[in-house]
């Protein structure tokens, strides 16, 4: 594990964790001066990226983690995030939330609080929340979660100062977090208490705080995470005493109608209800009409009946503008390069250049480059700005949502639709020109 010195204290790399598209990379770039890919659709960051920043004379190392909705390892991104938080043992984990939909984001917060108590919650996109007339009581949120909460607008760098100082305070122990964990079904809580003592004996001394979370995973039987825990901490869950307790726990759960089919549902629903309660307490919608209008538009754009036709219409218009619109600049460029080529041929002729040199330089290199420019540049110059408008309107994530089911059948996700559209847009325009 790399550690960074902060004068009197040593801080391990600080992960920036959060749902997709909440501004992790934007915050990361603003803090470190790096250029991680940002954009208005989920899933741009696919691997961890590191960068440093100096605050009040202290060096901090941040890690931009791929966006994830949970730490339950349903995808590669979730596994990367989960492994970093579980086994990276960071001094502080920064969880970034989208201020416009805190409720959905709290799931990840509660899951992370099971693993580490050194957490700073950053409520980003406050400017967007303001536009949507949403107010958030950050102080109350902090009290309810039991960890510090800081509000930011990542595009305004100065709003990040408080975030930095809070991170340092948590990492140095100046602020001690006392997270309020979600309470599950009473029988599940009893089962966790039964397993925890055995797990505390089994886990390495510095990891005993993971006993509750590990107990949950054991009952859930999440194989990939359990084998990761065994491998990373060099332990085995085949311990006789632990297995006996696990059998006892399973019997108790079965006696209360909780089994493999509904255990995870019960966990998730407890988290969802807690998130809902917290949001009812801390989120104030100043204009119900505004939020209702957004919901109505969203419902239409993602509905089974209209979602796909609207998407085909939008993309069709963009492809049509790209293909027909690119013809004009393409012809101008091609005429210009043709004229230039003629002049260059005359020049080479006057200089008595050998025919093989004229062939290589003018008929070969110059002509190829000029064809590529006149055919490819205009469609790209039209298509990408149009695609950016769709991105800024927030329509790209809706396309990804609409196509997710179809793409899943091809063993991928709806997010790939956006890359496909980009490739398709440029290639279609290029083919038409050729």
Ligand X SMILES: Nc1nc2c(ncn2[C@@H]2O[C@H](COP(=O)(O)OP(=O)(O)OP(=O)(O)O)[C@@H](O)[C@H]2O)c(=O)[nH]1
- Given its phi and psi angles, is residue 11 left (phi above 0), alpha (psi -120 to 50 degrees) or beta? beta
**Of 85 and 202, which has the nearer Cβ to ligand X?**
85
**Of 97 and 242, which has the nearer Cβ to ligand X?**
97
Per CB under 5 A, contacts with Mg ion among 316-355 are: none
Distance, C-alpha 182 to centroid of its chain:
24
Out of 9, 39, 232, 314, which residue is the one contacting ligand X (CB under 6 A)? 39
Per CB under 6 A, contacts with ligand X among 51-80 are: 67
Q: How many residues bind ligand X (CB under 6 A)?
A: 23
How buried is 19 (Cβ within 10 angstroms: 0-12 exposed, 13-18 middle, 19+ buried)?
A: buried
**Of 44 and 415, which has the nearer Cβ to Mg ion?**
44
Q: Which residue is nearest to ligand X (CB)?
A: 67
Q: Choose the one of ligand X, Mg ion, none that binds residue 26, judging by a C-beta under 5 to 8 angstroms depending on kind.
A: ligand X
- Report the C-alpha gap between 73 and 96 in whole angstroms: 19
Sheet with strand 119-124: strands edge to edge: 49-55, 58-64, 14-18, 93-98, 119-124, 149-151
- Report the C-alpha gap between 27 and 18 in whole angstroms: 12
The DSSP bridge partners found for residue 135 are 284
- Given its phi and psi angles, is residue 393 left (phi above 0), alpha (psi -120 to 50 degrees) or beta? alpha
**Of 142 and 159, which has the nearer Cβ to ligand X?**
159
Contact 51, 27 (CB under 8 A): no
Q: Tell the smallest beta-carbon distance from residue 301 to Mg ion (Å).
A: 24
Q: Choose the one of ligand X, Mg ion, none that binds residue 148, judging by a C-beta under 5 to 8 angstroms depending on kind.
A: none
Report helix, strand or coil for 287. coil
Asked whether position 25 contacts ligand X by CB under 6 A, the answer is yes
Asked whether position 125 contacts ligand X by CB under 6 A, the answer is yes
**Of 108 and 278, which has the nearer Cβ to Mg ion?**
108
Q: Choose the one of ligand X, Mg ion, none that binds residue 20, judging by a C-beta under 5 to 8 angstroms depending on kind.
A: ligand X
Asked whether position 44 contacts ligand X by CB under 6 A, the answer is yes
Asked whether position 25 contacts Mg ion by CB under 5 A, the answer is yes
Asked whether position 118 contacts ligand X by CB under 6 A, the answer is no
Asked whether position 21 contacts ligand X by CB under 6 A, the answer is yes
Contact 429, 379 (CB under 8 A): yes
Write the DSSP symbol of residue 358.
H
Q: Choose the one of ligand X, Mg ion, none that binds residue 43, judging by a C-beta under 5 to 8 angstroms depending on kind.
A: ligand X
- Report the C-alpha gap between 84 and 48 in whole angstroms: 9
Point out which span in 21-29, 179-187, 247-255, 282-290 binds ligand X (CB under 6 A).
21-29
Q: Tell the smallest beta-carbon distance from residue 252 to ligand X (Å).
A: 39
Out of 11, 17, 24, 307, which residue is the one contacting ligand X (CB under 6 A)? 24
Q: Choose the one of Mg ion, ligand X, none that binds residue 154, judging by a C-beta under 5 to 8 angstroms depending on kind.
A: ligand X
Asked whether position 154 contacts ligand X by CB under 6 A, the answer is yes
Per CB under 5 A, contacts with Mg ion among 44-63 are: 44-45
Nearest Cα neighbor of 298 from 402, 368, 426, 191 is 402
- Report the C-alpha gap between 169 and 412 in whole angstroms: 41
Distance, C-alpha 32 to centroid of its chain:
18
**Of 27 and 318, which has the nearer Cβ to Mg ion?**
27
382-403 in b/e burial notation, b at 16+ Cβ within 10 A? bbeebbeebbeebbbbbbbbbb
Contact 121, 151 (CB under 8 A): no
Q: Choose the one of Mg ion, ligand X, none that binds residue 22, judging by a C-beta under 5 to 8 angstroms depending on kind.
A: ligand X
Asked whether position 128 contacts ligand X by CB under 6 A, the answer is yes
H helix intervals, 234-306: 240-255, 263-282, 288-301
Asked whether position 394 contacts ligand X by CB under 6 A, the answer is no
**Residue ranges that bind ligand X, judged by CB under 6 A:** 18, 20-26, 38-40, 42-45, 67, 124-125, 127-128, 153-155
């Amino acid at each position: 594990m790399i550690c960074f010195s902060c004068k009197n204290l040593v801080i391990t790399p600080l992960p920036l964790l959060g749902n997709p598209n909440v501004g992790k990379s934007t915050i990361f770039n603003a803090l470190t001066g790096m250029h991680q890919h940002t954009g208005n659709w989920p899933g741009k960051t696919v691997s961890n990226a590191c960068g440093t920043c100096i605050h009040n004379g202290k060096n901090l190392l941040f890690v931009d983690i791929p966006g994830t909705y949970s730490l339950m390892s349903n995808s590669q991104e979730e596994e990367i995030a989960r492994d970093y938080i579980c086994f990276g043992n960071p001094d502080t984990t920064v969880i970034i939330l989208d201020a416009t939909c805190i409720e959905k984001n709290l799931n990840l917060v509660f899951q992370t609080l099971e693993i580490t108590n050194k957490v700073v919650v950053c409520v980003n996109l406050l400017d967007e929340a303001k536009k949507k007339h949403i107010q958030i009581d950050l102080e109350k949120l902090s009290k309810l979660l039991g960890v510090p909460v800081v509000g930011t607008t990542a595009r305004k760098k100065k709003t990040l100062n408080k975030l930095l100082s809070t991170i340092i305070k948590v990492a140095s122990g100046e602020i001690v977090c006392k997270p309020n964990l979600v309470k599950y079904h009473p029988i599940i809580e009893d089962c966790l208490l039964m397993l925890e003592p055995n797990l505390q004996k089994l886990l390495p001394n510095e990891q005993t705080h993971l006993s509750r979370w590990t107990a949950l995973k054991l009952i859930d039987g999440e194989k990939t995470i359990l084998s990761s825990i065994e491998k990373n901490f060099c332990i085995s869950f085949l311990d006789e005493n632990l297995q006996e307790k696990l059998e006892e726990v399973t019997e108790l759960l079965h006696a209360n109608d909780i089994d493999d089919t509904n255990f995870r549902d019960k966990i998730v629903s407890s988290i969802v209800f807690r998130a809902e309660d917290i949001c009812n307490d801390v989120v104030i919608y100043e204009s119900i009409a505004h939020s209702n209008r957004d919901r109505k538009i969203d419902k239409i754009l993602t509905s089974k009946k209209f979602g796909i036709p609207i998407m085909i219409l939008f993309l069709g218009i963009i492809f049509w503008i790209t293909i027909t619109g690119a013809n004009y600049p393409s012809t101008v460029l091609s005429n210009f390069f043709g004229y230039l080529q003629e002049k260059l041929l005359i020049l080479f002729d006057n200089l008595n250049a050998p025919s093989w040199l004229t062939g290589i330089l003018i008929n070969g290199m110059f002509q190829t480059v000029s064809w590529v420019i006149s055919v490819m540049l205009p469609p790209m110059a039209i298509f990408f700005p149009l695609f950016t408008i769709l991105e800024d309107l927030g329509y790209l994530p809706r396309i990804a949502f609409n196509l997710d089911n179809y793409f899943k059948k091809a063993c991928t996700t709806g997010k790939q639709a956006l890359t496909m559209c980009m490739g398709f847009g440029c290639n279609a325009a290029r083919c038409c020109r050729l």
